[in-house]
Amino acid sequence: MHEFKRLLRDAAGALGLSLTEAMCERFFLYYRLLIEWNEKFNLTSLVEPRDVAIKHFIDSLTCLLVHSPAYGARVVDIGTGAGFPGLPVKIARGDLHFTLIESTGKKVAFLRHVAGALGMAYMDLACGRAEVLARHDRYRASFDLALARAVAPLPVLLEYALPFLKMGGHFIALKGPAVQEELPASSNALNVLGGNLKVVKTIFLPLTGDERKLVLIEKTEPTPEKFPRRPGIPQRRPL
Ligand code: SAM
């Protein structure tokens, strides 16, 4: 446990992020639950403490390096899976009001268990497709920040994410180096959906040196009502 917490704190420190002892304890409990549930459900292929600490937890936190949401901001994580990047960000920024969206019921059951075990406040878990939930009044155009990691190519992700954002809200896609090829293909989606590419920030993960690209997009125009299209259409026919 001490080794895990030291690793996390040192890696966060190398990126200029600081984690308290209480946050590190929550990360360790999350790690234990992830490994325990992973024996029954397929939640992650990474199980070694160092891999989970760096490639899941620290990787998730990198989004805070490209944009720091205001105190109490509303944040949605689309296709969160076992909670990435949303849950690590929520551990580091307890003030944020989070909605985690995931279409697979067993993953949502896991997230409910973790959120309960960690005693998380301001945590909403929504089981369903982004294309459907983005049409609910409760969610549409109501978030300051949207996040997504490893869910879909950028043009598809834009159709999932931009309808959730308020005007002036931001979307961060946590990507690898291959996003360079997705960017030119995203200009039509940005135009149609009301987004503006602000920056692509390159990060190297501590210890592993893995390269990451954080794509920051601002919503500058309202998204037309007809988006997102029906479930599966954004993926099959990207804008
Ligand atoms: N974001 C997590 C991560 O980085 O570890 C999970 C990545 S996993 C490869 C993609 C997840 O997105 C899956 O759990 C899948 O069920 C979910 N997903 C894919 N498309 C979705 C959609 N349209 N709406 C909601 N969830 C979706």
pLDDT at 238: 96
- Is residue 57 a known part of a binding site? no
| Count of other CB atoms within 10 angstroms of residue 81 | 21
Closest-CA residue, ligand 1 atom 4, reads 149
Do the domain assignments include residue 64?
no
Do the domain assignments include residue 77?
yes
User: Is the CB of 107 inside a 6 Å radius of any atom of ligand 1?
Assistant: yes
pLDDT at 1: 79
Do the domain assignments include residue 115?
yes
- Domain membership of residue 222 as a residue range: 69-236
Question: Could you give the angle at the alpha carbon of 180 between the alpha carbons of 145 and 45, nearest 5°?
Answer: 70
Do the domain assignments include residue 133?
yes
pLDDT at 2: 85
Q: Which atom from ligand 1 is nearest to the alpha carbon of 83?
A: 2
Do the domain assignments include residue 212?
yes
Distance 2 CA to ligand 1 centre (A): 31
User: Is the CB of 99 inside a 6 Å radius of any atom of ligand 1?
Assistant: no
> Count of domains in the chain?
1
Residue 86 is given by DSSP the state: H
Report yes or no for ipTM above 0.95. Answer: yes
CA gap 126, 122 in Å, rounded: 13
Task: Walk across the sheet containing 97-102 and list its strands.
Answer: 123-127, 97-102, 74-78, 143-149, 165-175, 211-219, 195-204
Residue 97 is given by DSSP the state: E
Using alpha carbons, list the distances in angstroms from residue 2 to 6, 125, 190: 6, 31, 45
The pick from 38, 107, 151, 212 for probing ligand 1's pocket by mutation, whose C-beta has the most ligand atoms within 8 angstroms, reads: 151
Closest-CA residue, ligand 1 atom 26, reads 79
In this structure, what CATH number is given to the domain that contains residue 158? 3.40.50.150
Do the domain assignments include residue 25?
no
Do the domain assignments include residue 24?
no
- Is residue 79 a known part of a binding site? yes
Closest-CA residue, ligand 1 atom 17, reads 79
| Regions of the chain where pLDDT drops below 50 | none
